[in-house]
Amino acid sequence: MQVGFELYQKQTLKLSLTPELQQSINILQYSTHELIDFLNRQAYENPVLEISFKEPLASLSIHTKINSQIRGSSSKSKGFNGDNDYNPINNHSVSTETLERHLLEQLSLLSSLNAFEKKILQFLIGNLNDYGFLELDVHWTASHFSVPVEEIENMIQILQSLDPIGVGAKDLTDCLLIQLREHENHNELAYKIVKKHLEDLAEKRYRKIAALHQVTVQEVQEASDFIRTLNPRPVSHFSDDMTHYIVPDVYVEKDKEGFLITVNDSCKPKLSINPYYKNHVAIHSVNPAKDYIKGHINDAQLLLKGLEQRQMTLYKVTASIVEEQHEFFMKGITGLKPMTLKDISEKLQLHESTISRATSNKYIQTPHGLFKLRNFFTRGLHRVNSPATESSTTIKEKIKVLIADEDKIKPFSDQKLCQIFENEGTKISRRTIAKYREDLGIPGSSKRRRF
């Protein structure tokens, strides 16, 4: 066998993504916030681009008819309440008070403490975790401040007396016990249950607890109800994070003529090409900077075209979803039917990957609330002796309603729920019922039972 170098030509066919196509794909799959960041970067890197936040981007007005008429609308600035002048920033209330600041303000009012004791308390406050619990070794702290352990324990008790009640606890059990001790209607049985049987309480082993304390199951149930009024996370309303708003990418509104679809561009900046550079290229036929400017103008034009294509695709996909899920937009969740990406891709003659990108990280405001566009793509279950199917989302909604209306003394088992669906013509296994119930965060029948 001869080993060596050889020079030859070979023809091959392969799919290649041009930079322009890659950019269009990225623009389509960006969420609203990602798109805004992307456009800001493009405006920074491309000197011929001008960016403005005063007016919305120009949009497309498209009209089509289906079962009920679907109408396209030009994009506009719009809030959830339909107010065209709505600005979520103006309606956002920010509390700058943190847990640490709240506690330190109370500490400053404790005139009975000396400066050294306040220093210890400041140290303890600084070591609280996100749940307001104090996971600090008492002996190490005493050694750190060169004081007896008893003094550190006294400071911890003072910390636990501050608002909110439960702050400074060692763990969840300690937090609930502190709240029980401070409660004006002190429940002795509830105190014993929290202290010794919190796990049994979570698993609703009421009979076991009743036997151990020689009380009735009903008394355990009442103590459980009382415990549930306590706050396991008393510091949850203190946060350093700002509220994150979800901005709908598309609005669907019902009117007399059908449905009005609005692609939302109110949050996106307006991009345009600076006319000075266009004129410069047109006037100066020979100029060292001409090729440089012309290249950036071409990039800007491709970007604007990509934004227009994104809007058109998003509109078409939404219109097809509204058409396919017409019952949902008329009735709500119970009208949702099974639908796949393939159904929409075949309808629009687009690739499934395009539909996937168009619906990824996108939100739609409907007459029945705010949803992810991906929520409309669900699997289905066949009905008995019928070609019709029901979506998994619809099944989950029915499970939620059935359990909400059940007899709490004799709650529905998964098998009973299975029989109810079969009686209504929907074939579903007990295993599937259990999976959907768990997805909804609903415990089993034994844990839902009341005595």
Please give the chain's pLDDT, 451 residues, in tens.
566 677 877 777 665 667 777 778 888 888 888 888 888 888 888 888 888 865 443 333 333 444 444 555 544 444 434 444 445 445 444 455 788 889 999 998 888 889 999 999 999 999 998 888 998 899 999 999 999 999 999 999 999 999 989 999 999 999 999 999 888 777 889 999 999 998 888 888 899 999 999 999 999 999 998 998 898 888 887 765 555 677 889 999 988 878 899 888 877 788 888 888 877 766 666 666 777 888 888 888 888 888 999 999 999 999 999 999 998 898 888 788 888 899 999 999 988 989 999 998 899 999 998 999 988 888 766 555 555 566 777 888 888 889 988 888 888 888 889 888 888 888 888 888 888 888 888 888 888 888 7
Beta strands in 14-130 (DSSP E): 49-52, 63-65, 69-73
Q: Residue 258 contacts by C-beta under 8 Å, 6 or more apart in sequence?
A: 65, 66, 68, 69, 70, 71
Cα separation of 301 and 104, whole Å? 57
For residue 264, give Cα distances in angstroms to 124, 312, 388, 437.
Answer: 49, 12, 34, 35
Residue with tokens 């996937």: 356
pLDDT of residue 251: 92
**Listed residue (180, 181, 182, 156) closest to 169, CA to CA:** 156
Q: Can you tell me the distance from the alpha carbon of 148 to that of 168, in angstroms, rounded to the nearest whole number? A: 19
The confidence score (pLDDT) of residue 322 equals 92
Return all residues near 47 (Cβ < 8 A) that are at least 6 apart.
Answer: 274, 277, 296
d(CA 2, CA 106): 88
Q: What is the DSSP string of 116-144?
A: HHHHHHHHHHHTB-TTS-B---HHHHHHH
pLDDT of residue 239: 60
The CA dihedral of 338, 388, 418, 326, to the nearest 10 degrees, is 50
- Asked whether the beta carbons of 334 and 394 are under 8 A apart, the reply is yes
Residues in contact with 3: Cβ distance below 8 Å, sequence separation at least 6, in sequence order: none
Query: What is the rounded CA–CA span in Å between residue 27 and residue 322?
Result: 23
Question: What type of residue sits at position 180?
Answer: L
